[in-house]
Structure 1
């Protein structure tokens, strides 16, 4: 990804992450505010945390949350001082998998990025909204940013991602990592995992993990989940289609309703999430956990249910 002008919040994020890493003698709870934890609490994510990508709360407008107390989960054998890159093959639906690298200065590009317009990641749609920065909802998002490894038109490294995920969520972590490598000459283990629900063609988000090698994580250390959402835009993750939220407000039949209006929803009594009846997750739900509901969205929220990230009911 090319560098862009960052907001003040993003600049603060980079500064905080740069000065507070995962010290080798501290756990995330002992070093409260270390590495990405400090950035998350000082910037967009505040206190939002999860133990794993499968337990992330529904999108609430924050670009990312901290995972596993900000501790990445690399194997001991991964830590080495030789650079490498590994990209998963596309699956049967044409979706990217894990991208993993040990990044040193020898992997970083020495020329301007070329066009990637010929790549059409799974779920790709060209959709414009005046309220979106740059007008286009979707970017071709590098899992491992171009500035880190120079991988450009690699279809195994590009997913359909919102402008918000690309710029507000991923870019500050990429910039901070690149700056550290250039300044120190050290290596950084770096892994990005796109998270797809069921057969959805668009990822719900990405898990980003990184840890600097030579200094045991003192310089770089984070484990975050970045949401693939765009404020005020509703996305069908199964297909990549989208619409403004207000275009569906006030309707029933499982579409988004105003707080006092009635709608049709499907509840998962195990996960405590609610879905639109047409959501792809409903077909995968165990019958014992399914419950149909007629009523207001506000009532479900009061009962402790959370909206599905994919159908955004």
Structure 2
């Protein structure tokens, strides 16, 4: 007579069962989308997230940018292969008062400092202050202007441009010493020009207004800015909204920001 074979059931102790359950729960938690680290890069526009804008509470409970702190942090940054980076996650920091249309379209430029350097420029851009005449030749020499010929994309070019803080196509300001700084070819175009064209096209198409601020960023007593912060916000809608920093650099060349002289890299 054949013997019956009985399967032996494995017995688990209570502590073992609790351990298995805990491991399963931890594994599920770590795989949950809400608990995974996420890094977002806007590769289409060349922007990367850089939280350099310090926030300070105001008396009305809102927040505003501590501009001195922000400028200091931007001035301390060193170029690292990315010429355009986002400031404050690319979000403008204008207050509701800044966005008011009570004054209509306007523009404002800082007085030159003790070193003859430009400062922040502000505007409420509108169709009514955009120029209709052709731009005249520029002749003002901003601080640190030591021009030289370079090779750019295989062609001879100039290292420096007289960069308008607020582009000519937006306000018609041209040979205004308070609106011109020494900037590299790549800072001016495609750097600043891309954003200026975007704003100008929007205003022409919609006849709306854009709050605009351009801030040159100097380190110490340098005569050439390390970069420029561009911030804009459309008032009647949210179609225009950016807050970026563009490094004042040129590929294959080293700039002495203290004087404006340069050398091959």
Same fold, TM-score > 0.5, yes or no? yes
Whether contact under 8 Å (2:49, 2:89) holds in the other structure is no
Q: Which ranges of structure 1 fall in alignment gaps of 5 or more residues?
A: 1-31, 246-313
CA displacement, residues 56-83 of structure 1 (integer Å, 9 cap, x when unaligned): 5421232210000111121221112310
Residues 92 and 54 of structure 1: is their aligned pair in 2 closer, same or farther, counting only changes over 3 Å? closer
TM-score by length of structure 1 reads 0.62
Q: Which residue of 2 aligns with 1:196?
A: 218
- For these two proteins, the number of residue pairs brought into alignment is 206
C-alpha contact (below 8 Å) 1:204/1:228 kept by paired residues:
yes
Compare CA radii of gyration and give the structure with the larger one.
Answer: 2
**Residue pair 1:192, 1:209 contacting (<8 A) in 2 also:** yes
Q: Which residue number in structure 1 is paired with residue 190 of structure 2?
A: 168
Say if 1:237 and 1:192 are closer, same or farther in 2 by CA, change over 3 A. same
3-state secondary structure, aligned to 2:149: coil
2:150 aligned partner? 129
Q: 1:97 offset after TM fit, Å?
A: 0.3
For residue 98 of structure 2, what is the aligned residue in structure 1? 78
Partner of 1:49: helix, strand, or coil?
A: coil
Cα drift, residue 85 of structure 1: 0.4
Tell me the SS of whatever aligns to 2:97: helix
- Which of 107, 131, 150 lines up with 1:109 in the alignment? 131
In structure 1, which of residues 165, 177, 187 is the aligned counterpart of residue 209 of structure 2?
A: 187
Counterparts of 1:134 and 1:92 in 2: how far apart (Å)? 35
Q: In the TM superposition, what whole-angstrom CA distance separates every residue of 1:258-313 from its partner, at most 9, and x where no partner exists? A: xxxxxxxxxxxxxxxxxxxxxxxxxxxxxxxxxxxxxxxxxxxxxxxxxxxxxxxx
1:202-223 superposed Cα distances (whole Å, 9 cap, x missing partner): 00000000000111xx110000
Cα distance between partner residues in 1 of 2:230 and 2:159: 21
Q: Determine which of 156, 160, 163 is the counterpart of 1:138.
A: 160
2:45 to 19, 38, 43: 43
TM-score in terms of structure 2 length: 0.73
Unaligned runs of 5+ in 2: 1-37, 54-70
2:115 counterpart (82, 93, 97):
93
Q: Is the 8 A contact 2:232 2:241 kept in 1?
A: yes
4+ residue runs of structure 1 moved beyond 6 angstroms? none
Residue 235 in 1 paired to residue 255 in 2? yes
CA displacement at 1:43 relative to structure 2: 3.0
CA contact (8 A) 1:50 1:65 kept: no
